[in-house]
Amino acid sequence: MKKKYRISKEVKEQILARIKNDGITVAGAAKEHGISTQTIYGWLGSGVKSQPTVLEMSKLKRENKALLELVGKLTASLDRAQKNS
């Protein structure tokens, strides 16, 4: 029977922050801290919000619109460049 160790909230937050911000892989973090990848994926899943707020949706819509405009401009520019070649 495996012993179950309790990981403090601070350590858990540090591990998740390193994965989200520093780009460390889940497998790398699990190996480094001696815990399973399933445990970390569970932590990541439990931190997911069910619904975005109105402000978050508004921001995402603005960003999406700006990105679509940029893609359109780049596509038109590329088409002109190919026609001129």
Confidence (pLDDT) at 48: 63
Does the pLDDT of residue 70 top 90, yes or no?
A: yes
pTM of the model: 0.51
- Pull the structure tokens for residue 42: 């569970």
- Mean pLDDT for the stretch of residues 32-59: 84
Confidence (pLDDT) at 62: 96
- Pull the structure tokens for residue 52: 């975005």
Rounded CA gap, 31 and 10, in Å? 18
| CATH number attached to the domain at 1-48 | 1.10.10
